[in-house]
Amino acid sequence: MNHSWILKVAIMTIYVENIILTRNYIKEINELKQVLGKAFEIKDLGQLRYFLGMEIARSRKGISVTQRKYKLDLLKKTGLLGCKPASILMEPGRKFQTENGDEFEDK
């Protein structure tokens, strides 16, 4: 007896009013969008490119997630966009101290 099992998965991630849908079978996404569309006003923005400060890029090698745009926006907002990066080395395991020499509590 030969049994073939196919696991069909649709995943929905919700953050406030933003929803990400992903799947391994397109039919499940379309069915889920129809159900959601009956209950809520939804808009399909196509493939995910930007969400909560993360940029998502796809290539043949896979999916890449970065925060490049978020970092650039933060540098622009703080007026540091034109600054040059500095290489500052820090000793591993270094303990920081208060002005009177006491170590900070490790919470």
Q: Report which of 96, 23, 84 is spatially closest to residue 31, judged by C-alpha positions.
A: 23
What pLDDT shows up at residue 2?
Answer: 64
Joined tokens for residue 96: 């920081």
Supply the range of the domain harboring residue 75.
47-82
In this structure, is residue 25 part of a structural domain?
Answer: yes
Are the CB atoms for 67 and 54 separated by under 8 Å? Answer: yes
| Termini Cα distance of the chain | 58
What pLDDT shows up at residue 1?
Answer: 58
In this structure, is residue 4 part of a structural domain?
Answer: yes
What pLDDT shows up at residue 76?
Answer: 93
1 and 34 within one domain: yes
In this structure, is residue 14 part of a structural domain?
Answer: yes
Phi then psi for residue 49, to 5 deg, are -125, -35
In a 3-state reduction of DSSP, which class is residue 66? strand
pLDDT per residue as tens, the chain (107 positions):
566 777 777 788 888 888 888 877 777 788 888 888 999 888 888 888 888 888 999 889 888 999 998 889 999 999 999 888 778 777 887 777 778 877 777 66
In a 3-state reduction of DSSP, which class is residue 97? strand
Count of domains in the chain?
A: 2
54 and 26 within one domain: no
| pTM across the whole model | 0.51
68 and 37 within one domain: no
